[in-house]
Amino acid sequence: MATPPLPGEIDFTNLPDLAVLGQTLFKRVPIGAIVVRLSDSQIILRNPAFRHIANDDITTVSSLLDTCCVDPTQREQIHQQITQAKSRADKEETSEMPELVLDLKGTDGRVRIVQHYALLFHKMDIAIGIFRDISDIKRKYRALQKEAFTDELTGVGNRRGLMERWNEEMEDDPNQVIGFLMIDLDQFKPINDTYGHAIGDHVLQSLARRLRKGVRKSDYVARLGGDEFGILLPNIQSRTMLDTIRNKLLVSLKRPVITNTLKLNLSGSIGGGLYPEDGQDLPAIMVHADHSMYSTKKSIPARKRSKKHRVTARLPVA
């Protein structure tokens, strides 16, 4: 008498012919799948779902990666995985390649975000590759992430986004030099008190755009709260470069903001810090930059500050 299967085990006696079942699954499953000959990397079998990822002109794994994978780092990662998996042929009957997310460009020009996994059967000289299109999931996640990390008023980053970007930079290259600038608008409160928050909001939006245009695309501008902004500058060359950017932004902040019938003259105070020289993490760098900023404020004579911070001149009504 046959022993009944344990919970979680498959009862093979009740399954249809496994060859037929395997063929049916291979054809019908809505996930791209290929069978590859290990000796020459030829794609010897592909299912219909894979044709949404790459067409039949792609005949080898190498051509798939070189033609379709748009990210050089991802190409290098998967080539390394293949080499490592093949090196285990003398020790294991089967080996696997861990999950890896790839950006693959199809013949239709669309870039699909694909989750890849592979299992190698060394004695059979074949590998099975699985390609799951997760584009919609990833794009929805990125949209939610962008919303969570973006300041609603100005469109630049917020504190959470700043910390997330810092963490990404640390993961990519913890040995790089990173600059940080802390920016505070001088005497911004009188604008809100005199002309209302709508005008104040317009000023903040205008100055956020200036800050973003005044730095590199790789730099990250964030509104930290109120009239305070921060800028993260990865892979900065030196403190001299940080000071050059700081001075450039100070000039930019002095340009008047035009809104309705008002010409608003402002200025800003900017302090800077460098990782790792001024601190070993982002909070420490921010504290250093904040102290530097307030030292700059105190160094400006009161009479000069008062003159510089006159905030408005009324324009003629058109």
Q: For 137-188, write each residue's pLDDT tens digit.
A: 888 887 888 889 999 999 999 999 999 999 999 988 999 999 999 999 987 8
Q: What is the mean pLDDT of the chain?
A: 87
Domain boundary among 138, 169, 189: 138
pLDDT tens digits for range 7-53: 666 666 666 666 676 777 778 788 999 999 999 999 999 999 898 88
Domain boundary among 82, 113, 138: 138
Share of the chain above pLDDT 90, in %: 60
Give yes or no for residue 318 having a pLDDT over 80. Answer: no
Are 153 and 129 within one domain?
no
Give yes or no for residue 284 having a pLDDT over 50. Answer: yes
Among 4-18, 80-94, 288-302, which range has the highest average pLDDT? 80-94
Can you give the residue range of the structural domain that contains 216?
Answer: 149-314
State yes or no: is 227 an active-site residue. yes
Q: What is the CATH number of the domain that holds 35?
A: 3.30.450.20
For 264-274, what is the mean pLDDT?
A: 92
Are 215 and 249 within one domain?
yes
pLDDT tens digits for range 258-268: 887 788 988 89
Number of domains making up the chain = 2
Return the higher-pLDDT residue of 24 and 294: 294
Are 134 and 156 within one domain?
no
DSSP string, the chain: -PPPPPTT---GGGS--HHHHHHHHHHH-SSEEEEEETTTTEEEEE-GGGGGTS-TT--BHHHHHHHHB--HHHHHHHHHHHHHHHTTTTT-SEEEEEEEEEEEE-TTS-EEEEEEEEEEETTTTEEEEEEEE-HHHHHHHHHHHHHHTB-TTTSSB-HHHHHHHHHHHHHH-TTS-EEEEEEEETT-HHHHHHH-HHHHHHHHHHHHHHHHHTS-TTSEEEEEETTEEEEEETT---HHHHHHHHHHHHHHHTSPEEETTEEE---EEEEEEEETTT-SSHHHHHHHHHHHHHHHHHHS-HHHHHHHT---EEPPP-
Out of 15-19, 89-93, 221-225, 256-260, least confident range = 15-19
Does pTM surpass 0.75?
Answer: no
For 86-115, what is the mean pLDDT?
A: 89
One of 133, 151, 219, 227 is an active-site residue; which one? 227
Where do we find the tokens 């205008």? Answer: 206
CB–CB of 103/71 below 8 Å?
Answer: yes
Q: What is the CATH number of the domain that holds 247?
A: 3.30.70.270
Give yes or no for residue 275 having a pLDDT over 80. Answer: yes
d(CA 201, CA 204): 5
pLDDT at 301: 52
Are 189 and 278 within one domain?
yes
Domain boundary among 103, 138, 173: 138
pLDDT at 297: 73
pLDDT at 141: 81
Are 102 and 157 within one domain?
no
Local confidence band at 215 (pLDDT 50, 70, 90 cut-offs): very high
Return the higher-pLDDT residue of 116 and 12: 116
Give yes or no for residue 305 having a pLDDT over 60. Answer: no
Are 238 and 131 within one domain?
no
Are 189 and 241 within one domain?
yes
Return the higher-pLDDT residue of 311 and 81: 81
pLDDT at 285: 97
Return the higher-pLDDT residue of 28 and 254: 254
pLDDT at 317: 34
Give yes or no for residue 286 having a pLDDT over 90. Answer: yes
Are 63 and 178 within one domain?
no
Are 221 and 303 within one domain?
yes
Are 161 and 125 within one domain?
no
3 part of a folded domain: no
For 233-257, what is the mean pLDDT?
A: 94
pLDDT tens digits for range 76-86: 999 999 999 88
Among 29-33, 55-59, 256-260, 287-291, which range has the highest average pLDDT? 287-291
